[in-house]
């Protein structure tokens, strides 16, 4: 008797899911113009956001670039946050003074540059600016320092080296 009750409950759950799908498909068929507009808007948003941010690398690829290609690690966090923990060898140029001190980086135009921020969200605009200024190989670290520390990769405390 217990098994039958369990089986009946499962059928009701499956029926609920299929009922939802039927309703959704019905809605999509009746409002196809709205669905096309929604998919187009989502696609456009995705495209513009990925284009704006530029190419990104994960922690493994960043480590490879640092070790084999002598990449510059450009940390754009504020000095206070940078001194609490950063990637060894990173150059700190806070986003707040980036435009004023950008010329300090000109000697690295032909080097790979990895732009690092706290969460990986604000590095995209800095990377785009560097590309416009003639830097050849600019990428951003996906997830920023949060991802680096979550992967238990080494960090250094104190000022820039």
| CA geometry: angle 51, 52, 54, nearest 5 deg | 65
Q: Is 117 a catalytic residue?
A: yes
Q: Assign 131 to helix, strand or coil.
A: helix
Nearest to 115 by CA among 100, 85, 137, 96: 137
Alpha-carbon span 122 to 142, nearest angstrom: 11
Q: How far apart are the first and last CA of the chain?
A: 73
Q: Given the residues 62, 87, 117, 127, select the one marked as catalytic.
A: 117
Which residues are designated catalytic? 117
């Amino acid at each position: 008797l217990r098994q039958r009750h369990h089986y009946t409950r499962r059928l009701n759950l499956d029926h609920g899911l299929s009922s939802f799908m039927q309703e959704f498909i019905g809605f999509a068929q009746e409002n196809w113009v709205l669905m096309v507009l929604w998919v187009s808007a989502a696609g456009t948003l995705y495209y513009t956001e990925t284009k704006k941010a530029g190419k990104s690398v994960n922690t493994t690829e960043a480590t490879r670039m640092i070790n084999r290609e002598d990449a510059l690690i450009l940390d754009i966090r504020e000095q206070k946050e940078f001194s609490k923990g950063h990637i060894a060898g990173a150059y700190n140029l806070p986003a707040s003074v980036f435009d004023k001190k950008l010329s300090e980086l000109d000697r690295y135009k032909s080097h790979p540059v990895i732009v690092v921020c706290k969460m990986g969200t604000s590095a995209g605009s800095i990377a785009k600016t560097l590309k416009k200024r003639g830097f050849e190989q600019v990428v951003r670290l996906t997830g920023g320092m949060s991802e680096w520390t979550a992967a238990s990769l080494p960090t250094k405390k104190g000022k820039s080296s």
